Structure formats: structure tokens, C-alpha cells
Amino acid sequence: MDMPPPINWRKLNGDRIRLPIHDAVEQTILREKEQGHRLKVCIGSDSQVKGDVVDFATVIVFLREKKGGFMFISNSSMKNTMSLKERMIMEVAKSVQIAYSICDLLDKHNVELEVHADINTDPHFQSNAALKEAMGYILGMGFVFKAKPDAFASSSCADKVC
């Protein structure tokens, strides 16, 4: 079986995260707990079409209860051969992949997790076409699902770095 290419992660200030993301997340959780912070993690993705390319951004947002937050960011691109609905599901798949890869850590350290989808719950918006599938995918994997307007990890954080 072919392994997917490694995902490169960075902080908002541009500093590269050199550890595997699993290790970087665990170190972050341990450091934040040591400093007395209670954490929640929200994962989301967004995409933008630029000509014949789709740029994706996936974020892991660490929220410190009543103390702000910070995020890890991964960007990728692929040739645009998808419909809007396919692109929305691809965003969700990227978020679920990351959530699945770190959920053991979050369980181990009792950190709450939400997976955010940049999909509108209002049927008047085009992205709503992917709502049922995205919600089923995320909930079916056992994760807490949030859509717009509550999906800030995807609709605000990932959107800003896409």
C-alpha cells in the first residue's frame, strides 16, 4: 500500500513544526496542562479554487479555556477536477484524517475534540448540498460535528490561511 505524502505543519507565525504532528500535539497538550490550561481542540479545513488548482488549509486549533488559543496549519494543493460538493467532502476528509490520527492522544489526556465543516446549514447556500454527507461522515467516525455558523476552525481559522 502506498503511504500518503508527509503533511507539513507550521504555526501561524510561520515556524515549521518539525516533529510528526502526533508528537507535536502531545508535547503541546503536556505543556499546556503543565501551565494549568484546560484545552479543547477543534479541527477544520477550507479550500479555495484558483484557476485549475484547489488550495486546501487544515488547522488544529487549541483553545485554552478563558485564555485564547493558537493553531497548527497545513496547506496543500491539487488539480481542480471536483464539483463543489466533492470539494466540501474533501475538506471534511482532510479534517477527519487529522482528527483520527490524534484522537488517541486527546482521549488519553481528556481533551475535548470538535470537527468543524465549512458547510452552511442554510439550504439557500450551495455548500449545503454536502451537509448530510459531511455530518454523517464526521458523526459516523465518532466525532463532535459543527457546521456554520459554529464552525470557526474551518470558516474563520482555515479560511484565513488558505
State the Cα–Cα distance between residues 65 and 141, nearest whole angstrom: 26
Contact predicate 24/105, CB 8 Å: no
> What's the whole-number average pLDDT of the chain?
92
Q: Is residue 1 part of a domain?
A: no
The domain in which residue 47 lies consists of 9-161
Per-residue pLDDT, averaged over 134-141, amounts to 94
DSSP track, 116-136: EEEEESSTTSGGGGGHHHHHH
Q: Is residue 112 part of a domain?
A: yes
Query: What is the number of domains present in the chain?
Result: 1
pLDDT mean over 38-66: 96
pLDDT above 90: residue 107: yes
Q: Is 69 within a domain?
A: yes
Q: In the chain, at which residue ranges do the beta strands (DSSP E only) sit?
A: 9-11, 16-17, 39-50, 53-64, 69-79, 112-120, 144-148
- The answer to the question of residue 4 being in a domain is no
Tell me, rounded to whole angstroms, the distance of Cα 15 from its chain centroid: 19
pTM across the whole model? 0.92
H-type helices in 10-83, by residue range? Answer: 21-34
Per-residue confidence band for 6, with pLDDT thresholds at 50, 70 and 90: low
* The pLDDT of residue 113: 98
Instruction: Tell me if 3 is assigned to some domain.
Output: no
Task: Find the CATH number of the domain harbouring 96.
Answer: 3.30.420
Query: For residue 1, is pLDDT > 80?
Result: no
